Structure 1
Amino acid sequence: MNMKTYRLIGLLPIFIIATACSLEVGSKAWCNQMDEKSKGDWTANEAGDYAKHCIFRSDD
């Protein structure tokens, strides 16, 4: 194996750990995290998801 392959294999666990630590979009914890985050730092997708899941939530 060459050096590029070793580098990819080494970065894979870091990527898996980083994505596993993310909160699920729409969860109460995610909504609370977004409440704490400055509104100017939100992306368009985050703003849409916040409106959909946190403001117009239907807890049936």
Structure 2
Amino acid sequence: MQVFKKTGLALTAAIFSIGLMACSPEVGSEKWCEQLQDKSKADWTANEAKDFAKHCLL
């Protein structure tokens, strides 16, 4: 019975995570640029910094 609870919890977490990713704005969109500006630059990934420079500054 305990195994089913752990499996169910893991499955629920995976579905929730996929759902959150589906709600993320498209890279380079105005909303994405705004979200990245609100995020601490120390938390940006290298790809985010590159995409921000490419889509939001130029």
What TM-score, normalized by structure 2, do the two folds share?
0.69
* Unaligned segments of structure 1, at least 5 residues: none
Aligned sequence identity (%): 51
Report what 1:33 is aligned to: 35
Does the C-alpha gap of structure 1 residues 7 and 46 become closer, same or farther in structure 2, counting only changes over 3 Å? same
Q: Deviations over 1:6-59 (max 9, x none)?
A: 778656633431221111100000101111111111000000000000001xxx
Amino acid at match of 1:40: A
Which stretch shows the higher mean deviation, 44-53 or 5-14?
5-14
State the 4+ residue runs in structure 1 displaced beyond 3 angstroms: 5-13
SS in 2 for 1:24: coil
* Unaligned segments of structure 2, at least 5 residues: none
What TM-score, normalized by structure 1, do the two folds share?
0.67
**Distance in 2, Cα, partners of 1:17 & 1:28:** 21
RMSD over aligned CA atoms reads 2.0
